[in-house]
Amino acid sequence: MRTTALFVLTLFALGCRSDDKDVVIDTNVDTEPQTVDEDGDGFTGEDDCDDTNAAVNSGAAETCDGLDNDCDGDADEDATDAATFYADADGDGYGVESYTETACEAPEGYASAFGDCDDQDATIYPDAPEDDCLDPTDYNCDGSSGLTDADGDGFAACEECDDGSRAVNPSATEICDDVDNNCDGEADVGAVDAGTWYQDADADGYGDTDFAQESCDTPEGYAAEDGDCDDATATTNPGADELCDSVDNDCDGAADDDPIDAVTYYSDRDGDSYGDPATGKASCEQPAGTVENDGDCNDKEALAWDGATEVCDEVDNNCDGAVDEGLTSTYYLDSDEDGYGNPKRSTTACSAPDGYVDNSGDCDDTEEAAWTGASETCDGVDNNCDGSVDEGVKSTWYLDVDGDGYGGSRSTDACTPPTSDYVAADGDCDDGDDDAFPGASLGCDGGDYDCDGAVDNDADGDGYADATCGGDDCDDTDAVVLPELGGGCALGATCLDVLANGYSAGDGIYTIDPDGFGVGLDPFDVECDMTTDGGGWTVVEYSADLTFQQQFTGGDRYRFLGSDFTLELSDAQITAIQSLSSEGNQTYVGLCEHVIHYYYTAGGGYDYSFGFRFFDGTETSYGTSSYSPYDIKVTSDGCAVNGGEGGALSKATLFEINSVKVPVVNVQCRDCGDATPEKFGSPLMSYPAYLR
């Protein structure tokens, strides 16, 4: 193109000249071909078959793009990014590895995946489904018998109930996990780790050994502990306290062995009515030759007992550990002859022995410069016997056991700290805890970490930290509500206290704590009568009625029942309620047949023939004409005749008892032992005691 243009210009120049001057023509024309690289790939002419595409030239690598990249006249042959394809005769998308083709696209009858173990059957290829236990074909080409075993436990999916868990198959062991491990259609049945449970008919936490059942969960009415020897009585079980009642309460095979209500009796060999404390033995009945008093320090000396008058007989008559005290003078050894005796070395006599004085003010009887009242000097000696050495002449240093910079109550006076464990600051209220010192961070465990004398995080000032920070007080805005680990938060000390605190919601069950938070009893639930006579009555209920039956034989005489009535609350709980009560009342309903409950004719006189024992052990007097000093009134005397009552409630004798000593725990009768069946009883459970 450039040569042709030059030639035309030359001709144009020659043709346009009209003058006659000689024209000089340059005949040295450049006839070499000129090259252009339009795509900038470094190739031109025959070496670049497409100078508009830098990816096409004789030096390019052939790739799968439909172009003749290397300018050899063929497109995509031997492309560097060609893929390998495998012969797929059955068209299932998987070929055989031994027959391959390399190409940019899959040839007809080829596939990109291989691993087909039967290329003549389109249902057989890797990962094909296998779920027919009757077909042994290896459909998924995994070399197995043709059965799918997803969890690898040796059982095909069709042979087990969960092919997603190796722990579940027909040969697995059944365990307590709410899973049908052995595929028998039932979960946890026959589990090897199932527990043994025992029938607990009286719901006291102990079951009957003869009635056991294995189960993963506790069956209704069963307990984990066995050994209950009376599963009809909740107060009789291996964990119960043994009582003096001729019953094997704790199921150890013996009745009344080591009972908690046994009385301790002491041997009284000298007959002074005071027993030897070293001979105490608990018993339900008092042995002969014993007393309940253990105040005898010398049971071989009839003139020696606790409280006796001391006489000058070289005997410790009053059991105070001293002999003939008050009858002789005390003298003290004065080894250093400073006129002051050693208080730890003394003797009693009528006059001072040699080397003794009547002054006991010497704290160091080996140092004549030390006695009571001497002047303190800086000599390492307690000169004035005040318990301190060199006080007033040296500084006070406090032992810092926990290393928090503050000392506790242990201190010493010295010119310098005795050791590195002593500091100048005191006030540490707990020198065993480096978290406790004046100004420390507050805690929530009921402690006083900042040593300000008050429990930390106690908003209501009741002495217990707020439960929201980990303390014990579940309502830190109300000092009346006191929590306790064994029983939650009591709403008051008694039902009357609950009413006064404004927590009454009518008759019902309330939580009380008569002895206060953290002392003795845990809070417990009681029935409260919040309506009768102003409310606030704590109800003390019985556990059983006095069965209407013949109670005694062998003739009429005054006597109580052999055992006291059982109550729902413990003795300690009732005692605590009584201690806070000033009123009490109870209606005792006497059912009868041939047993007179009020007046009894004896030799022409009329005496009260039915008496009571109260909770504190006091009893009404028998054979008298009055229940004084107790306020007891008979409001209905249905048992005034001797026979025909038949135990009917409508013919009962009703006693109204107004006393804080209630509840009644036993009754005494007079007309109740003849040969004629004389029966009596009382529906105690329907007539509880009330205290406020």
For residue 606, name the pLDDT band (cuts at 50, 70, 90): very low
Residue, of 472 and 142, whose pLDDT is higher: 142
Contacts of residue 202, defined as CB under 8 A and 6 or more positions apart, other chains included, come to 228, 230, 231, 232, 233, 234, 237
Tens of pLDDT, residues 221-236: 999 999 999 989 999 9
pLDDT at 481 (0 to 100): 62
pLDDT at 644 (0 to 100): 84
For residue 73, name the pLDDT band (cuts at 50, 70, 90): confident
Tens of pLDDT, residues 85-114: 999 898 888 998 888 988 898 899 898 888
Res 245 pLDDT > 80: yes
Q: In the predicted model, what is the mean pLDDT of residues 117-132?
A: 82
Residue, of 11 and 450, whose pLDDT is higher: 450
What SS3 string covers 600-628? EEECCEEEECEEEEECCCCECCCCCCCCC
Share of the chain above pLDDT 90, in %: 29
Tens of pLDDT, residues 580-590: 999 999 999 99
Tens of pLDDT, residues 424-448: 888 888 888 888 889 888 888 888 8
Alpha-carbon distance 596 to 608, whole Å? Answer: 10
Helix%, strand%, coil% for the chain, nearest 5:
5, 20, 70
Alpha helices of 461-570 — where are they, by DSSP H? 495-500
pLDDT at 655 (0 to 100): 95
**What is the SS3 assignment for 685?**
helix
Q: Is residue 196 within 8 Å of 213, Cβ to Cβ?
A: yes
b/e burial code for range 203-233 (CB count within 10 A of at least 16 → b): ebebbbeebeeeebeeeeebbeebebbbbeb
Name which of 345-359, 497-511, 603-617, 640-654 the model is least confident about: 603-617
b/e burial code for range 266-276 (CB count within 10 A of at least 16 → b): bbbebebebbb
**What is the SS3 assignment for 632?**
strand
Residue, of 476 and 198, whose pLDDT is higher: 198
Res 3 pLDDT > 60: no
Residue, of 337 and 527, whose pLDDT is higher: 527
